[in-house]
């Protein structure tokens, strides 16, 4: 980046080195947190692969037992609406690492990032059409462009914008929930059952029908992404960008007091909202409460995501056990894009007509087991791969397009590791 002082906030002089580390030094905490976030994202995403009833507000025939209802409750209470926010925060944080990478390479930052977001969007479109209609990469590509345009605004502006996005999104869905109480619930329920049955037949049919159903689902769900995930993700982009400029994760040990405060306040505010969101999963077939709970969790989930991040950072610092956990999670986080795509590939093969066609045959409790098995495979494969290569395969492809040059894939020396944490 040739104009680093312009791309960083004016009140943070470049001499302070916000990253707090040598240019080539890995930021293991960022990678480990990203690896941790991958688990939560998988646990949520696999529910869409396993059941066409997920998210429709009607009971899933495979989730009526007490054990499966409890599993649905745990998924909603612990995982849903939280982990993509953590991943979004890390995306914003890594944006600052990209800025410093461009500065070190002497490259123009804006063209480089435009290419990166275009490449990410293309990967996301392919991913959404072939593997998973709930893709988040296209949304990240568009929101990344917004962050690129606002990168020179001050921290106060970005913080206020993030708070406003969270408040307005929560209020919007509270209003939707209020209107929903006056709708014909019987008609909505019948339509949901018909939609789930049609989707189940398509996903079990042929690979071509899977693609057709993905396109149909995308045409029906894009607005939900735009009105639920996108505003909250952008708010977390802003939070991560501010934290990255200040190097919050570069020297975590210097911020233990702040982390403890984030942890306890995050739990105090976030857990009641998570409970309000998850409780309808035990009652079954109560879409009004579902929407009301969504409005509450949209307001409080960022606090719980912050508590998760702070808690994991504190655990990472707890002696040998913490270091081993970082070593276990960091390789997966360094190739997070590849792992995200690999998770979808594995789920598509297991549940759709590409392979085993298990969709609609197992309940939420069993999907937990499948998710953890896939994640264990992610960890093992990532450790093996990153020991031999400098980048994950998807990261290598995106980096080549971003920089318009072919980077070396094979690991040669420690310097090959630089900037790879910013690639996800």
Each residue's pLDDT tens digit, 152-163: 999 999 999 999
Residue pair 99/423 in contact by the 8 Å Cβ criterion: no
User: In the block, which residue shows the tokens 């869905």?
Assistant: 173
Structure confidence by residue, pLDDT tens digits, 122-150: 999 999 999 999 999 999 999 999 999 99
Q: Is residue 319 assigned to a domain?
A: yes
Predicted confidence (pLDDT) at residue 47 exceeds the cutoff of 50: yes
pTM confidence score: 0.90
Q: Is residue 7 assigned to a domain?
A: no
As separate numbers, helices (DSSP H) first and strands (DSSP E) second, the chain gives 17, 0
- Identify the pLDDT of residue 101: 83
Predicted confidence (pLDDT) at residue 383 exceeds the cutoff of 90: yes
User: For the CA atoms of 302, 307, 313, 316, what is the dihedral angle to 10 degrees?
Assistant: -130
Say how many CA atoms lie within 13 Å of 84 toward its Cβ: 23
Q: How far apart are CA 188 and CA 47, in angstroms?
A: 22
Q: How far apart are CA 112 and CA 360, in angstroms?
A: 43
Q: How many structural domains is the chain composed of?
A: 1
Q: What is the mean pLDDT of the segment spanning 26-49?
A: 93
Tell me the pLDDT band of 412, cut-offs 50, 70 and 90. low
Q: Is residue 12 assigned to a domain?
A: no
- Identify the pLDDT of residue 197: 94
Q: How far apart are CA 350 and CA 353, in angstroms?
A: 8
- Identify the pLDDT of residue 284: 61
Predicted confidence (pLDDT) at residue 77 exceeds the cutoff of 90: yes
Instruction: Copy the structure tokens of residue 340.
Output: 């995200």
Q: Is residue 400 assigned to a domain?
A: yes
Instruction: Copy the structure tokens of residue 171.
Output: 């209020």
CA distances to 52, 161, 295, 338 from 62, rounded to whole Å, are 11, 42, 27, 31
Q: What is the mean pLDDT of the segment spanning 1-20?
A: 37
Residues in contact with 254: Cβ distance below 8 Å, sequence separation at least 6, in sequence order: none
Nearest one of 335, 336, 394, 418 to 116, comparing CA atoms: 394
Q: Is residue 58 assigned to a domain?
A: yes
Tell me the pLDDT band of 102, cut-offs 50, 70 and 90. confident
Q: Is residue 192 assigned to a domain?
A: yes
At 353, is the secondary structure helix, strand, or coil? Answer: coil
Instruction: Copy the structure tokens of residue 300.
Output: 């409080």
Q: Is residue 17 assigned to a domain?
A: no
**What burial class does residue 194 get, using C-beta atoms within 10 Å of its C-beta: 0-12 exposed, 13-18 middle, 19+ buried?**
exposed
Tell me the pLDDT band of 285, cut-offs 50, 70 and 90. low
Q: Is residue 15 assigned to a domain?
A: no
Structural domain boundaries, residue 172: 23-423
Beta bridge partners of 410: 389
Predicted confidence (pLDDT) at residue 104 exceeds the cutoff of 80: yes
Q: How far apart are CA 128 and CA 141, in angstroms?
A: 13
């Amino acid at each position: 980046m040739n104009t680093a002082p312009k791309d960083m906030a004016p009140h943070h002089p470049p001499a302070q080195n916000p990253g707090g580390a040598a240019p080539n030094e890995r930021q293991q905490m960022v990678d480990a947190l990203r690896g941790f976030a991958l688990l939560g994202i998988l646990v949520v995403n696999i529910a869409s692969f396993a059941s066409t009833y997920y998210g429709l507000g009607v009971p899933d025939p495979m989730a009526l037992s007490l054990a499966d209802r409890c599993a649905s409750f745990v998924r909603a209470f612990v995982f849903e609406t939280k982990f993509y926010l953590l991943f979004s925060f890390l995306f914003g944080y890594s944006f600052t690492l990209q800025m410093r990478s461009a500065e070190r390479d002497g490259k123009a930052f804006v063209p480089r990032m435009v290419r990166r977001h275009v490449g990410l969007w293309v990967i996301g479109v392919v991913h959404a059409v072939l593997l998973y209609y709930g893709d988040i990469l296209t949304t990240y590509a568009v929101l990344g462009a917004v962050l690129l345009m606002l990168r020179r605004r001050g921290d106060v502006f970005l913080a206020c914008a993030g708070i406003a996005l969270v408040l307005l999104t929560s209020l919007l869905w509270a209003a939707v929930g209020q209107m929903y109480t006056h709708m014909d619930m019987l008609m909505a329920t019948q339509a949901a059952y018909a939609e789930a049955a049609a989707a189940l037949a398509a996903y079990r049919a042929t690979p071509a029908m899977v693609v057709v159903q993905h396109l149909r689902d995308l045409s029906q769900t894009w607005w939900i992404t735009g009105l639920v995930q996108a505003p909250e993700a952008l708010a977390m982009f802003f939070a991560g960008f501010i934290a990255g400029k200040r190097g919050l994760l570069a020297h975590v040990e210097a911020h233990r007091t702040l982390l403890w405060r984030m942890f306890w306040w995050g739990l105090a505010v976030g857990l009641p909202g998570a409970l309000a969101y998850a409780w309808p999963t035990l009652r079954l077939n109560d879409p009004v409460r579902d929407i009301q709970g969504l409005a509450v969790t949209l307001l409080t989930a960022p606090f719980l995501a912050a508590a998760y991040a702070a808690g994991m950072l504190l655990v990472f610092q707890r002696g040998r056990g913490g270091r081993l956990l970082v070593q276990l999670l960091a390789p997966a986080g360094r190739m997070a894009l590849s792992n995200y795509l690999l998770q979808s590939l594995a789920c598509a093969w297991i549940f759709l007509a590409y392979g085993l066609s298990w969709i609609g045959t197992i309940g939420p409790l069993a999907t937990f087991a499948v998710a953890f098995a896939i994640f264990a495979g992610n960890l093992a494969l990532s450790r093996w791969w990153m020991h031999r290569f400098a980048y994950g395969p998807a990261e290598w492809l995106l980096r080549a397009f971003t920089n318009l040059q072919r980077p070396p894939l094979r690991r040669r020396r420690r310097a090959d590791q630089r900037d790879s944490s910013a690639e996800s």
